[in-house]
Amino acid sequence: MKQESPDSSGIDSQRCTCTVCPLLCDDILITADGVEQACGHGRETILAALANDERPGAQPAEASENDQLLGRETATTRAAVLLSSARRVLITGLANATLEAITAACDLAETLGAAVDAGLPESARSAGPTIARAGEVTAAFEELRDRADLVIFWCCDPATSHPRFIERFVAPPLADGRQRRTIAIGPDRVIPDAVTHRHLPLARDLAVELARCLHLRIAGRHAPDTLDGPLASDSNQLHDAIRSATCVAIVTGDADDSVGLEAWGIVYLVRTIAHEKQAFQIPLGAGLAAGGVNNAGASAACTWRYGAAGAIARADRMGSLFLPGESDARRLISRGEVDAVVVLGRLSEPLEQAIADRGDALSLVRISDAVEMKHRPAGRTIQFRCSSLTIATTGTMLREDGRRVVLAPHQQATLPQMRQLLVDLEQAVRQSLALPAAGGRP
């Protein structure tokens, strides 16, 4: 299943894709001697998946109900009855799935009239996603690599969240030989101090004020005279660096910001710089700490089908209701608005906790590659095991900058793909609801 073709770093060899973080590095070599090119975390996770796969008797039953092993067909029938008799269903965890599996999950949601939300932070903000409120000026990671002579890490630390981001996109020299400078603003140093790198320490809660102040100065408007020492000094240094750069990239992470003010401030700052020179934002999510690696794919698939990236109150491709801060997964679960949840893969800790807090009032259908569930909810739980997301999943995902990545798995799957399990489940739900088979769908 490995592919031979050049990747984004120009390597031409047999390679496979790492699906451990949203960077989806496509230059990984797995040989008898080990895992090459991957970061430490990626290597560790891939080796653990391989070891798990090679354990004696490593292929257990494909499904279970409350820890009792079941055949796949029986489990599918039982899950279909459970879901079709539920009061209201939520489908979540889409960011762990390929675009093909997300499409199958959306088909299932429409058949059930279910709510859909991937559990991404932007859907939980009452003001909704920044891109819908203010738009975004963004670029591919490779554009940063080839064009940006000033990279500002804005209160984020890609070295931790996306371990190879700096190696792949910031460390390589600029295409035209100019020197690239980097500045880290916020609590994290990101890169050790050097002639070309500066760290400007700043408390996270001052980030919005700094963005607004810079925005005013770059727009040639009056900035407040009352700024205190570090804020004024950081503002001066950033302003000078931006003025002397040719192309500016501002790399951001997910802010713990229930209103989305910080994201909004950065969008306006980047847009103002872009009026004078090349400038763009590289919005990175939580990376390794996120609930999945295909956040961009989940957002794109839901936006294409329902007009919004998540918080879909009821899936309907003819017109869905989008309720940010109301129909996001955590609120639907913790407010008791759903009594059954279909989970694809792993979830973030707050979502797992929200499920656990509902006790036996919530039923779960989980499709995951995990041999054992880390979290064992008290309610009725039917679990399907799919092929390993780390070493044997086929399909397509989107990197966070929107680049399409066709997964090249290390080995052929011995368990069904997540997409196939969802397709089978949707057919069984149709039978259970006495609906006609879904033929001829686009």
Residues forming contacts to ligand SF4 in the complex (CB under 6 A) are 18, 20-21, 23-25, 38-39, 41-42, 162-164
Dmax over CA atoms of the chain, in Å, equals: 71
> What residues have CB less than 8 Å from 419, skipping those under 6 apart?
97, 98, 100, 101, 103, 104, 395
Q: How far is the CB of 75 from ligand SF4 (least distance, A)?
A: 32
With tokens 């295409």, the residue in question is 175
Q: Which is nearer to ligand SF4, 25 or 242 (CB)?
A: 25
Q: How far is the CB of 24 from ligand SF4 (least distance, A)?
A: 6
Q: How far is the CB of 204 from ligand SF4 (least distance, A)?
A: 24
Q: How far is the CB of 25 from ligand SF4 (least distance, A)?
A: 3
What is the b/e burial string over 335-357, where b = at least 16 CB atoms within 10 angstroms of the residue's CB?
Answer: eeebbbbbbbbbbbeebbebbee
Q: How far is the CB of 181 from ligand SF4 (least distance, A)?
A: 23
Tally Cβ neighbours within 10 Å of residue 256. 9
Q: Which is nearer to ligand SF4, 147 or 164 (CB)?
A: 164
Q: Quote the DSSP letter at residue 312.
A: B
Question: For the residues of 331-373, what is the DSSP string, one character each?
Answer: HHHHTT--SEEEEES---HHHHHHHHHTGGG-EEEEEES-SS-
Q: Which is nearer to ligand SF4, 24 or 83 (CB)?
A: 24
Q: How far is the CB of 20 from ligand SF4 (least distance, A)?
A: 4
Q: Which is nearer to ligand SF4, 334 or 411 (CB)?
A: 411
3-class secondary structure, 167: helix
With tokens 């192309």, the residue in question is 247
Q: Which is nearer to ligand SF4, 166 or 342 (CB)?
A: 166
Q: How far is the CB of 281 from ligand SF4 (least distance, A)?
A: 20
Q: Which is nearer to ligand SF4, 23 or 286 (CB)?
A: 23
Q: How far is the CB of 86 from ligand SF4 (least distance, A)?
A: 36
Instruction: Give the residue from 411, 388, 393, 394 showing the smallest Cα distance to 2.
Output: 411
User: 396: which 2 tokens?
Assistant: 């397509």
Instruction: Give the residue from 188, 169, 168 showing the smallest Cα distance to 38.
Output: 168
Q: Which is nearer to ligand SF4, 288 or 321 (CB)?
A: 288
Instruction: Give the residue from 155, 184, 144, 161 showing the smallest Cα distance to 262.
Output: 155
Q: Which is nearer to ligand SF4, 164 or 212 (CB)?
A: 164
Burial degree of 235 (CB within 10 A; 0-12, 13-18, 19+):
buried
Query: How far, rounded to the nearest angstrom, does the alpha carbon of residue 312 sit from its chain's CA centroid?
Result: 17
